[in-house]
Amino acid sequence: MPASKRDQLLATAERLFYEQGFHATGIDRIVAAAGVVRMTLYNHFASKEALVAAVLEARHERFIASLDAAVASASPGEETRALVEAHGRWLERYSPQGCIMAKAMGEFAEHSAEIHALAAAAKTELLTRLEAAVARDGLDPHVGLARRLFLVLEGSNMAVALLGAPTALADTRAVVETLLATARSETP
Q: How many helices (H) and strands (E) does the chain have?
A: 9, 0
Q: Report the percentage of the chain scoring pLDDT > 90.
A: 94
Write the class of the CATH domain 54-186: mainly alpha
pLDDT digits (tens, 9 = 90+) for 91-105: 999 999 999 999 999
pLDDT digits (tens, 9 = 90+) for 32-84: 999 999 999 999 999 999 999 999 999 999 999 999 999 999 999 999 999 99
pTM: 0.93
Instruction: Give the pLDDT confidence score for residue 2 in this predicted structure.
Output: 53
For residues 21 and 107, is the Cβ–Cβ distance under 8 A?
yes
What band does 1 get if pLDDT is binned at 50, 70 and 90? very low
DSSP 8-state class, residue 141? G
Per-domain boundaries in the chain: 1-45, 54-186
State which fold the 1-45 domain adopts: Arc Repressor Mutant, subunit A (1.10.10)
